[in-house]
Amino acid sequence: MSHINQVAAVLLFSLSLVLYVIGITTPFMTFTVSFNLSEMIDIPFLGSMFGNSIEQKTTKSLTYTILEAVRELVKNKQYFVAFLISFFAVFVPVVKTLLSFLLFAFRKRKFATAFSKVVSFMGKFAMADVFVVGVFIAFLYTQTNQFLKADINNGYYFFAGYVLLSIISTALFRTGTHVPDTKSAS
């Protein structure tokens, strides 16, 4: 049974990595800002500037992949937010998945226990699941806003698929793999 778990874990890890690459390079979310200038007439100062003859509707849409969003944040000097998204949604997932592959390949070696601890530690920083939930909450918030609308695109679903498969494959890997105990191996 453990061999089946190991094979399933490797296949799911591989599939999760494919979903991840598609998820960060495919449009993730579209933001649309829309308002009628005629609605501004009732706002003090703005209404008197435009007069009563305004009927123009203004709409602007922006669609981003995760990588484009990071690039845009850097361009707008939002370095900390760009770093957080880069670290938790790009760097940590790739490193954790690659380390998991290496752990699987070297699971029977003496250093596998230490390597397993490194993968476990990386897992504590794997905030991709929190990122997915956060984006979804932002999406729900915009559904009640009359001027701002967000639409979730395919990249979100691929990224969410990566998160789910990564969690499942990690669980399968842990149940199907025995990593040697360093205390008894010494």
Burial bucket for residue 47 (CB in 10 Å: 0-12, 13-18, 19+): middle
Asked if residue 84 belongs to a domain, the reply is yes
The pLDDT of residue 141: 64
Asked if residue 141 belongs to a domain, the reply is yes
Q: Please check the confidence at residue 4 and state whether its pLDDT lies above 50.
A: yes
The pLDDT of residue 72: 86
Tally of domains within the chain: 1
Q: Which of 175, 184, 186 is nearest to 8 (CA)?
A: 175
pTM metric for this prediction:
0.71
The pLDDT of residue 22: 95
Model confidence pLDDT, tens digit, residues 10-58: 888 889 989 999 998 999 888 888 776 665 555 555 444 555 555 566 7
CB atoms within 10 A of CB 7: 12
CATH code of 96's domain: 1.20.140
Asked if residue 113 belongs to a domain, the reply is yes
Owning domain of residue 123: 2-175
- Separation CA 111–CA 184 (nearest Å): 13
Asked if residue 180 belongs to a domain, the reply is no
CA 74 to chain centre: 18
Give the three-state DSSP class for 51: coil
- Separation CA 103–CA 115 (nearest Å): 6
The pLDDT of residue 29: 84
Asked if residue 39 belongs to a domain, the reply is yes
Strand ranges (DSSP E) for 52-179? 57-64, 148-152
Asked if residue 8 belongs to a domain, the reply is yes
- Separation CA 18–CA 13 (nearest Å): 9
- Separation CA 148–CA 44 (nearest Å): 22
